[in-house]
Each structure stands twice: as structure tokens, then as C-alpha cells.
Amino acid sequence: AQKITQTQPGMFVQEKEAVTLDCTYDTSDQSYGLFWYKQPSSGEMIFLIYQGSYDEQNATEGRYSLNFQKARKSANLVISASQLGDSAMYFCAMRERTGANNLFFGTGTRLTVIP
């Protein structure tokens, strides 16, 4: 079974609007971490935001926030006030506390910001 599912291959958003990128996950661990990364066309992976499974508050980092719904096993990324530079691939990832502690990635969502 897929540990991370991103169902939106591509998304469009108007500049200055907000956009939500979906992510659902599957784990039997009680302790885990959820991450979002941005990959511009240059290829490097840029860490954006982290949410721990025990965190009660939704994580926020500047214009990025993570809508964490534990019961639904979802960890959606919200980007507010979109900018042209936000156009990129976005990946959701999860690290489990048990086992080998590896980082599992989804297939990504390509976001295009329209001027």
C-alpha cells in the first residue's frame, strides 16, 4: 500500500490567491512526522514545513501552513498569497518513528501560478 498519496497531478492558482495541495498518508505508527518539499525546475528539493503526529497545532511557516487532520490521515499544504515563484513540484513525505526511519514520498503535485 502507498504510504503517501497525492491525488492532484497538477494545480493552477491565480497570483495572490490561496491554494491547497492534498496529501493523505497511511501508517500504523503512533509517532511520525509529515513534511512538504518544493522542487523547482532546477531539481533541488527545498524543505518547506513539518508537522509531528503529536502536535496539536497546525504548523505554519510564513505563507505555508499545514492542515493536519489526524483522524482522516491527511496533511494538506496551504499556500497563501501565491507568487509566480511558487510554480514548482510539491511533494508530501512521511517519516515513521519505528523501523528504519526512512522518508517516504508521494508522487507530487505540479503547481502553476498564473499571473
Question: Do 34 and 75 touch, CB atoms closer than 8 A?
Answer: yes
- Counting contacts by CB under 8 A, is residue 112 touching other proteins? no
- The DSSP line for 50-81 is EEETT--SPPEETTEEEEEETTTTEEEEEE-S
CB 86 to other proteins: min, Å: 19
Element (H, E) at 13: strand 10-14
Q: Could you give the CA distance from residue 106 to residue 5 in angstroms, rounded to a whole number?
A: 5
Q: Which is nearer to other proteins, 84 or 103 (CB)?
A: 103
- Counting contacts by CB under 8 A, is residue 40 touching other proteins? no
Given candidates 91, 112, 114, 115, which one binds other proteins under the rule CB under 8 A?
Answer: 91
CB 16 to other proteins: min, Å: 28
- Counting contacts by CB under 8 A, is residue 43 touching other proteins? yes
Q: Could you give the CA distance from residue 54 to residue 20 in angstroms, rounded to a whole number?
A: 22
- Which residues bind to other proteins, rule: CB under 8 A? 6, 9, 31-33, 35, 37, 42-45, 47, 50, 52-53, 91, 93, 95-97, 100-108
